[in-house]
Amino acid sequence: MAFVRSRPVSIFLRLLLIAALTLVLVPVSPPQGPAETTPPAPQGPAEPTPSAPTGDVTVLHVFLAAGQSNMSGRGLPAGGAYDPADPRIFQFGAKIRTFRPATVPLDMHDVATGISPATTFAREYLKTQPPNVGVLIIPAAHGATAFTTAQDKLSWSVGVAVDPEFDLPALAVAQTLQGMAAAKAAGYSVDLKGVLWHQGESNSAISMAAYAAKLDELIAFFRSRLLSPKLPFVVGGLAPEGIAATPGAANIDRAHRETPSRVAYTGFAKSMAGGVNPGERIHFSRVGIEFLGKSYLSAYRQALRNTAASPRSSPAPRVTVSAKQLKVTGPPGTLCA
């Protein structure tokens, strides 16, 4: 009986002995501070990643919009509820050199104050295109500019300006090439489709022949520098009110209308009477601009078919464009005063 009663005590003593041996034989780790982490390897600045095409648009048809104030955009009313953003229309601005959605007004070479026929043309044009096609506008117009021999002013005359910042044809070409490159970098396929031109109010003092020669020379320059010998070129008509009120404007109007008979792959876009801003004779209102948008589309189709013109102007001059002329100096979009 004594053996039986002492058995629990023996078991208890054995357990105490095992616990003691465990404490002696197992090393106790010293206290540790907070766990250390390996700092990440230093990295350089992230490489900019071009935005991928959004929505269904994968192809952009490119149109250069050049000339003076009416192409720049003076049509009123404009903006806000009149002109909601269109996800299929883009721009590469003259002042802010980025590829981005088009705005109303467009980012022209001057400060546009209203809607441009380039915008209304783009809207009409896209009605005829599949959903994967968008339009990239290159807004390069500047109000009150002309074909001129002055070397110290903005000029559309080819090869006249000594200072590259005044050379509007070369600046427009550089902007077009940069815009197409930016769209490609963003993942789009691009296709240069044409030039939309509206100008002439500032040249009413020169003869029809002189204006026609300057215009034809400009068309040849754009085609040569943009490597597109059959690039469609559409000429927009002046406001009838301005033609009637301005001596010499009828000569410019005639030169415009006869362009398709002088130069292949060109068209003439008619304007409407009564489509000017209230109290004006030159600048088209929104109504006049919307009419022009449809008229430009019809004239563009005319230009595509116009293969039988018999040019009477001299061959395109051999004009060189220096690297300085193609380079944008200063902050992005800095072109001229």
pLDDT (0 to 100) of residue 54: 55
Tell me, what's the pLDDT at 14?
58
CA nearest to 194, candidates 295, 106, 300: 300
d(Cα 228, Cα 219) in Å, to the nearest integer? 11
pLDDT beneath 70, residues of the chain: 1-54, 310-337
Relative to beta strand 89-92, strand 99-101 is: antiparallel
Q: How far is CA 86 from CA 61, 103, 135, 293, in A?
A: 15, 9, 10, 16
- Which residue is it, tokens 């807004």? 139
Residue ranges of the alpha helices (H) in the chain?
2-25, 69-72, 117-126, 168-185, 208-225, 240-245, 249-257, 259-262, 286-305, 323-326
Q: Which residue has the tokens 């357990």?
A: 15
**Predicted pLDDT of residue 10:** 54
pLDDT per position as a tens digit, 101-116: 999 999 999 999 999 9
Residue with tokens 């060109």: 266
Say how far apart CA 204 and CA 96 lie, in whole Å.
32
Walk across the sheet containing 59-67 and list its strands. 99-101, 89-92, 133-139, 59-67, 189-198, 233-236, 266-269
- CA 287/CA 139 separation, integer angstroms: 21
